[in-house]
Structures are given as structure tokens and as C-alpha cells.
Structure 1
């Protein structure tokens, strides 16, 4: 491009996202997550998936990483295991090798992956909408009801328009992720055009091969064209050595009686190279290389990427739910009477896929969607505190100063009312009901020592509930902390920090020192 003239200013160039580039700055501004229409790639991190499930409103399940498919590794997973999420490097050749279903049964909720990079959310929705009795938020319930009678492709379109889930999915995207996704969309469009050009060029070449040139018939009435003889060779030289001004016509035949020119054609044939249509070089001809088609085909075929799919049992059958397939794939039935486990059916399919990457870098990851005991333990803790309060109320009616007796002490770890640490309120406790037999047993008991013993038993049952809930809360806190760091925009801080170093004329010194 020509150099800029001094004193001239570049006009602001409008960008696709509405921002402007001024003063020659070629760095595009990142799109806004809230209005950006696309999807970004998700990392295979259980913490991110747990935060997504929580913000979507799904309760009672959590995602946990699986380190192996052997019995020992599977035994440590919380039961039941609702589904497996498998991340692997997807290649275009996989599409032809995969076995696919022929339809989508009514009892299987399955959606196709319509937008790019949405496979993580598609896999999660394919799972949570097939878990019976799963507690869901209003948004997920309404979405399931809205898509209940749709076909898989229409459900995929509905996911692409489901702003509630898209916002949660894209909240994990950094500025660079959005810019890279935009660039990938442009490259994909360019590759599509190049793919069309390659296909069209290939079809044109094939069409030209099929059309053969018509054969020329040699007529018996057509004489062979005589060999052209140069007039210089047929020129008759007079005696005395002078050529003079008179010579024969170039097309006239030499006089047969002249002995000097009897062998003129044979001499010409010996001195002149033969020209019978063959190549002069002895090297074999090489086929012409179509560099455009080769380079374009190489770029078109390089479409590898990571992809999430799900495996889960649905009404006695194990299904592979791959959003890139047209329909779900039934892997087989589970023999419940023989003590069969659905994992034994999913294992061979997963092991076959994993064997493809043996000896190479790790190009797959496996996570399990398991039952989360935290919800059940919280309900158990509420009932425990309710029973403890009922027992203490009965003790107050029997003997008002019972707390001063030996064995009736209350340690600080025991929860007797609302607790912010365990996220329970008195309203939650009051709304919890007790088993009728337990309530009757407490109300009928009049012996003070028996009531104190009953209270101590309730406190003992509370200890493992507190430990389980505390572990679940710490785990959830760790997941939220990871998600917080992932969602935080460090780009602005880094740019401002580098700008401050540049203004202080320290950046060049640091670069030279590095």
C-alpha cells in the first residue's frame, strides 16, 4: 500500500460489531456477550458444567471427572450414574463410520446441534431432559414443555434461540474467545466457497475426460502431403561458382537427369530432425498438478475439532446422544433381572473410541453426571433439626431445667435452628414435616431420661449429614471460584498495565531485558 502523507488522518472504520477503529488501530473491539448471536467452545472442566447446571436450575445432579472405565474407578462414583459426557477429537471421517439411529422415539428427548460450538450445552440438555424426577427451574421446565412435540432438528433450532442457556454458556467466554469464534465463522464461510469451487473444478475435469475427440478418417482419395524441400537446397548452381539471379521454384521438383540432385531428398532426410509427433525429451511426461484444488482440498479436509456427546440409560435401553447425528442411537437393552448395569453396554463403545488415540497425546476426556447427595442431605438435615426441636419442646413440658442435667449438653456444632453456614432458615425448618410415627412417639413419651436419650440419638444422626453438606458446600464454592476466575476479564487489566508501562518508558527496557 502507498505510504501515508504527513498530516493526514485516517477515518474511523466501522466494524461488524458496531465499534470503530481509529488512528490506524487494527485491533477489533470484542463483541458484547449479551448480544452476541454465536456460541463459544467450552472446556471439559467439571466445575464449569456444575455451575452451568446450577444456574440453569437443575438440582440433584453434579458432574464429576472419570479417570478410567475399570470397575475400581467406576465404584468410587456416587450412585446412581445418570449419564456420561464424552469429549473427543472429532474428524470428518467419523461421520461416515458412526452408526446412527433411524428415528427418535417419543420417550427420548433428543436435539440436534444446529449452531457451531454449542455441543456442551446440547449434551447437557439432552441429558437433563431425560432424567426422570429431576428438579428443574422454571426456564428449563418451560423449555421442555415447549419442545416436547418437536423433532430433533426443531429442538436444535430452539436451543439456538434459547437466550437463557446461551447467556450462561457464553458467560465463560473471554474476549479472545469471541474474536476467535467470529474469525472461525468467516474462515468457515471462505472454506465453504472454496469447497464449492473445488467441487465445481473437479466436476469440470471429469466432464472433460468423458468427452473424447472424434476420430479423423483417412480417405483413399487424399494423397500424402509431400515433404517440403527448401529452395536453397534445390537451387541449381551454374558453372563458375556464381549463383546468378535465376533459380528453380521452391515447389518445383529437381531435374531427374541432374546427377548432383538425385539424392537431395535423402540428404535432407538425414540432416533434418524427424518430426513424427513424438516428444524430443526422453523424460516421461508428468501430470499437471492442480495446485489450487490440492491446497483447497487440504484446507477443506482440515476440519478437526473437539466434540461433546452423551451416553445414558433411558427406560431400560442405553442411548448414544450425539447432536451431530440426525437421531439418537440405541446401543442395546439392559438386563435388569440379571443384575446388568448400563455401564457395561456403554463401555465397549467408549473403549473403541479411546483406542483410536492410543499412543498419541490425550485427545479425549470423560465426565459422569451423577446423583448429587447434597439436596437429599439438606432435606435430611431439615427433618433432623425439626425432630430435634420437637424433642426439646417435649422436654420443656416434662422438666423445664432439663438442660442442666448430665448428658443433655449441646455442643456448638449441633444445629438446633436456622444456620447461614448450611443455608437453612427457620422457615425451611417449619415447612418440613415429620413422619407421623415419629411425632406420635415424641408426644407420648413422658420419661425424662428416655427423652434425653432420644435427643442424643437425633444429634448423632445429624453428624454425618453436617459433614456431607459441608463437603458439598466446599465443593460448590470451589466450582464457583473457578468459574469466577474463568469469567473475569483480564484483558482490560493487561492492556491498561502495558499502557502504563509504555507511558513510563519502561516497556522497551523490559522487552530488551527479556
Structure 2
């Protein structure tokens, strides 16, 4: 993979607001939410779910220990990751490129159509050479960000986190990992009951079970239809029919969804702002007051608690 200093692709935070902003820029009617459980009740409010995005600490594993089977003849959309730090957007592309009939922005539609028929390596090179897509990927990276990495130093596997996708395609559950040779089929699923989600749950839980107990080296996101338009329509229909009790329930959920988007917008505005001047002034003040060590320990504690809440690392570091 190309060096991150040459590729121009920056780290992506594993955050629903960041992913949802990217999806909005791509012109798709999808959003992302954190998942803390795969039980039916937890997933119900996010239906219909189009895909699961799984973030995990990358470690080298023997080929014969891999679950599922490579599908080198996969007829859908699949791109290799060919530059560092691009796996969040590559995961999104590998997911939305396989959602039938999904509305997309003109630039994204043209890019996907242009790569039709290309092998995964060439497709990955074309995608990551797209200036507008790289700009969309980097849109929520802090301006003038400073990297503490030495370009001559290779990152260790212990530092590497990676995004992959689990989703249905032509009756099977597929795993899309841009670092693998081909999509991985995990077999067919039954249409009855929860459908593909039930099979995906089995696959993901088996993957999680390979980690040590109480491990926080992974997190899970649900890629699903934006519920706001349907909630707005449903609310209007209920109000028109005079069903005030159910209308109140729908209105409460719509309010929660709108509040969530307000929070995303606020947090994303902070991500866009350059805080280095403020940070420098605060560090100087803390150092002069002999409070820098205490502040550092408090910051480590806060970061640890945040990672525990989010289920692992907050960054895509591959």
C-alpha cells in the first residue's frame, strides 16, 4: 500500500456522524449508527439494515483459519485497498456498490459505472485516485493536522485497525475486506424470520468470539436507510387520520432522530475547526502551573473510557 504521506488520505474516526456525513456527500439516502448489541430488539429501530461495518484490530492470521470461502467470480462491486487510511471509504464503497437500486449522487454514479468490469486492484486504484472522493473522505479531518508518525517508520500490527463489511448479495452473506484477494462468501441465508441479519449475526459473533473475553478491539456500525423521511410521512398520515396516540410516539422518535443529527452537525463542526492555537496556549498555561502531568493522566483516562464506550479504537489506522 502507498505511504499515507503520499496518498493524501487521512485517518477516519469510527463515528456515526462522520460516516453519515460521508454518505450524505456521496448522495445516498443512508446513515450509520453504532451498535452495542446484535439482538433483534437492538436492530429493530435501524431496519431496513443494508450492511454491517465491522472495525477490528488487524492481526496476521493463517490462511487456513479463515472462515468462509473466497469467491473470485463475484459479479458485484469489489475494490482493493491500495493506499493507507482509505479503508473506511473503501468499506462504504464496497457496501453501497452492492445495494440494488440505491440512489446515488452523479459523481458517485459515474465513478461506479466507469469501474464496471475492472478487476479489484484496478478498481481500487481508480477509486483512490479520485480527487473528489478523497476530499469527501478528508472533509472531517482537522485542518492542518499534524502527524506524529515518522514516514520512515512502519506501523506495527498492534496499532492497525481495519474496516470491513458484512452484507447480503444474491442470497448469500458476503464479507468485503479490501485487503483480501476477493469477497468472502459465508453461505446462503434463509429469507424467513430476520432474513440475512440472522446469518450475519452468526458470522459476526463467531468472529468476535475469536478475541479474548472482554476484548474491546472491535466495534460495529449499522448502515441503514435514513428513517427521517419515512417518519415524517408516517407522522403526517397519522395526524391526518386523527390517530393522536400513535402520532405522539412517531413524533417522539422523529425528535430523537433530529436531535441526533443536530449532535452530529455540532461534533462535525468541531472536527473541521483548527484547535491547535488553543491547545498550544492551554498546554503552556498548564505547564506554567505545574498541572501538565495531571492533565495528561486525566486525558488518558477520558480516552480509555471513550474507547470502552465505543467498543475499541476510535480511529481507522491502516
Q: TM-score, normalised by structure 1?
A: 0.50
Offset, 1:462: 7.2
Q: For 1:46 and 1:325, locate their aligned partners in 2 and report how far apart those are by CA, in whole Å.
A: 25
Residue 273 of structure 2, aligned match among 470, 488, 512: 488
**Other-structure match for 1:323:** 178
**Other-structure match for 2:203:** 349
Q: How many residues align?
A: 288
SS at match of 1:65: strand
**Other-structure match for 1:309:** 164
**Other-structure match for 1:90:** 58
**Other-structure match for 1:237:** none
**Other-structure match for 1:48:** 18
Q: TM-score, normalised by structure 2?
A: 0.77
Structure 1's 96 and 470: CA in aligned 2 closer, same or farther, altered over 3 A? Answer: same
Structure 1's 130 and 102: CA in aligned 2 closer, same or farther, altered over 3 A? Answer: closer
- Give per-residue Cα distances to partners, 1:425-448, cap 9 Å, x unaligned: xxxxxxxxxxxxxxxxxxxxxxxx
Residue 40 of structure 2, aligned match among 56, 62, 71: 71
Preserved CA contact (<8 Å) 1:40 1:178: no
Bigger Rg, which one:
1
Offset, 1:115: 0.7
Preserved CA contact (<8 Å) 2:58 2:157: no
Q: For 1:464 and 1:355, locate their aligned partners in 2 and report how far apart those are by CA, in whole Å.
A: 37
The answer to which structure, 1 or 2, has the higher relative contact order (CA under 8 A, 6+ apart) is: 2
RMSD of aligned alpha carbons: 3.2
Structure 1's 169 and 456: CA in aligned 2 closer, same or farther, altered over 3 A? Answer: closer
Preserved CA contact (<8 Å) 2:7 2:83: no
Gaps of 5+ in 2: 294-318
Preserved CA contact (<8 Å) 1:89 1:304: yes
**Other-structure match for 1:225:** none
SS at match of 1:153: helix
Q: For 2:163 and 2:142, locate their aligned partners in 1 and report how far apart those are by CA, in whole Å.
A: 20
Q: For 2:90 and 2:291, locate their aligned partners in 1 and report how far apart those are by CA, in whole Å.
A: 48
Preserved CA contact (<8 Å) 2:143 2:273: no
Deviates more, 1:475-484 or 1:120-129: 475-484
Deviates more, 1:61-70 or 1:122-131: 61-70
Offset, 1:166: 1.2
**Other-structure match for 1:57:** 27
Offset, 1:362: 0.7
**Other-structure match for 1:144:** 112
Structure 1's 63 and 508: CA in aligned 2 closer, same or farther, altered over 3 A? Answer: closer
Structure 1's 77 and 144: CA in aligned 2 closer, same or farther, altered over 3 A? Answer: same
Gaps of 5+ in 1: 1-30, 192-300, 385-413, 415-454, 502-506
State how 1:221-370 maps to structure 2 within 5 Å: 302=157, 304-336=159-191, 338-339=192-193, 341-370=195-224
SS at match of 1:479: helix
State how 1:62-211 maps to structure 2 within 5 Å: 62-74=31-43, 76-93=44-61, 97-98=65-66, 99-106=68-75, 108-174=76-142, 178-180=146-148, 183=150, 185-188=151-154
SS at match of 1:93: coil
